[in-house]
Structure 1
Amino acid sequence: MAFKPALVIVDVQEDFCPPNGALAVAGGREIVPTINELLALPFALKVATKDFHPRDHISFASNHPAPNNKPFKSTIIIKNPHNPNESQETQLWPDHCVQGTKGSELVPELDVSKVDKIVNKGLDKRVEMYSAFADPFKNPCVARSDLSQSLREVGVTDVYVVGLAADYCVKATAIDSQKEGFKTWVVGDATKAVDPSSLGKVHEEYARLGVAVVAKDSPEVRKVKNLL
């Protein structure tokens, strides 16, 4: 198949960025100029994703009783609403990216005029959804976006993933992209992590699954530039 790349920009939203984000990732705004450089390249499809939670979302610590409801520290077990035998342990977070709030908006520095499609995720209050493709449940999946379908409709072969946060939603989106059959590249200098010390393990997992981490000036990115 002819090389046909897409760019997926994960969750570059006010709540994930300093100075006022409820779940701000250190340096989150610093990657936007690099992402805008990538948006100027001839990707076949340019997608921005957004966490877009209802107020009663299961991942919000505020929706659980004390004392096991400390943001960043407490975890809970979520059961698949359609299959109680399947469960996931997940981190609890501060309220963030609530539908209709300033925190859910893409940062104004991002050149949204070059974005073809926005994918909202995390809409189902019953499940966590780091990946822009689907929640982590398999038997059955509970919440799935139309991202994979949109990529296939355009004939995409390769997906380049950037955004926030490198160790959560970027990671889950990149892994699902590879599993969906797209050759997946994470542009490392266009991401930031909640916990930068975790990136070694993230990259090990990528290597096992075939996801590659590249730089914005790498041959893999120049290949997109050369489509001009």
Structure 2
Amino acid sequence: MAATAAIKPALVVVDMQEDFCPPNGSLAVQGGREISSTINALLSKPGFITRVLTQDYHPRNHISFASNHAEPNNKPFISSITMQNPAPGKQSETKPQQLWPIHCVADTPGATIIPEIDTSKADLVVQKGKHPQIEMYSVFADAFGNRDLSINAQSVSLDVAAALREKGVTDVFVVGLAGDYCVKYTAVDAVKAGFRSWVVEEATRCVVPDGWGAVKGELEAAGVSVISIMDPIIHGI
């Protein structure tokens, strides 16, 4: 029996944007552009019942931008600050946030999806990270795990979990950039949202190039299946 008879899969292509890709991206991931052909092959598979493209889409005053903080605590990749949970009744909850170079500012060229990706195959395009005071690596939830759109309305343009459930999706396949941040958190949150979750390892790259081994361990510990593009389940879609 074909895999598609047992599952209803969705493909989530995470943040394949100019600022995350060489040669000019402000937060370029090594090899990020090179995975486009693999992603396009997945986008073309007829068995996906929906295909979602995500975009980081930050305001210029976003909390994660190092330049928005005072010296000396404003070094990209090195410094961190403290974020506060925006959810009602949870403002006392805090967590550290690593600081980044300015990237993927809304309505700028750096936020656009790279032309190598066949966006004509997308059913949904979702912008995330729009709230100035909270990070949102995952398309399903902000950094504190808030998934209620009444809280996240300023952060994300669509409740993706609800949209997938409406289509009867059972399994979410996650690819894109970066494997150690937005791909990882999207895949883990797909499990928390009640889906079976998969990451296709040839279709992602990490900010830390040699960090994939540790990321795989984190994904698998969270219930995410890390598979090859040659896996039989991919052939069945």
- TM-score range for the pair, normalised by the shorter chain length: over 0.9
Which of 157, 162, 186 is the aligned partner of 2:175? 162
Partners of 1:124 and 1:139 lie apart in 2 by 13
Sort the Cα spacing of 1:86 and 1:47 in 2 relative to 1 into closer, same or farther, 3 A. same
Partners of 1:210 and 1:220 lie apart in 2 by 17
The answer on 1:35 being equivalent to 2:39 is: yes
What residue in structure 2 maps to residue 194 of structure 1? 207
The answer on 1:120 being equivalent to 2:124 is: no
Deviations 1:116-142 (A, max 9, x none): 100100000010000011102247864
What residue in structure 2 maps to residue 14 of structure 1? 18
Residue pairs, 1:24-173, within 5 angstroms? 24-42=28-46, 43-81=48-86, 82=88, 83-138=90-145, 142-143=151-152, 145-173=158-186
Query: Structure 1: which amino acid aligns with 2:174?
Result: V
Partners of 1:127 and 1:95 lie apart in 2 by 15
The CA deviation at 1:2 is: 4.0
The CA deviation at 1:200 is: 2.3
Partners of 1:17 and 1:52 lie apart in 2 by 15
User: What is the percent sequence identity of the aligned residues?
Assistant: 55
Gaps of 5+ in 1: none
Partners of 2:227 and 2:91 lie apart in 1 by 39
Partners of 1:221 and 1:173 lie apart in 2 by 19
Gaps of 5+ in 2: none
Asked whether the 8 Å contact 1:7–1:161 carries over to 2, the reply is yes
Q: CA RMSD in A?
A: 1.5
Deviations 1:76-101 (A, max 9, x none): 11011342321111110000000110
Residues matched between the structures, number: 224
Asked whether the 8 Å contact 2:141–2:147 carries over to 1, the reply is no
Asked whether the 8 Å contact 1:15–1:24 carries over to 2, the reply is yes
The CA deviation at 1:221 is: 0.7
Q: Secondary structure at the match of 2:179?
A: coil
TM-score between both structures, scaled by the size of structure 2: 0.91
Query: Structure 2: which amino acid aligns with 1:71?
Result: P
Q: Secondary structure at the match of 1:84?
A: coil
Partners of 1:129 and 1:50 lie apart in 2 by 11
Partners of 1:185 and 1:140 lie apart in 2 by 20
